[in-house]
Amino acid sequence: MIKLHGVSLSPYYNKVKIALLEKGVNFQEVLTPPSQEDWLLEKSPMGKIPFVEINGHPLAESTVILEWLEDAYPTASLLPPTPNGRALARELMTMLELYVMRPAAPLIGHMMKGSQPSAEQAEEIRQALARGISAVAQLARQAPWLAGEDFSFADLSAAGILPTVGRLSQTFLGEDMTLRLSGCADYLQRLGQRPSVARVWADRDAALAAYMARRE
| Domain containing residue 168: CATH number | 1.20.1050.10
| Domain span at 160 | 83-215
Bond into 80 cis (ω within 30): no
How far is the first Cα of the chain from the last one, in angstroms, to the nearest whole number? 37
pLDDT in tens, 155-210: 999 999 999 999 999 999 999 999 999 999 999 999 999 999 999 999 999 998 98
Rounded-to-integer distance, Cα 55 and Cα 84, Å: 34
- Shared domain check, 68 and 16: yes
Structural domain count of the chain:
2
pTM value surpassing 0.85? yes
- Shared domain check, 70 and 16: yes
pLDDT in tens, 76-110: 999 999 999 999 999 999 999 999 999 999 999 99
User: What residues does 53 pair with on adjacent strands?
Assistant: 3, 58
- Shared domain check, 11 and 101: no
- Shared domain check, 65 and 152: no
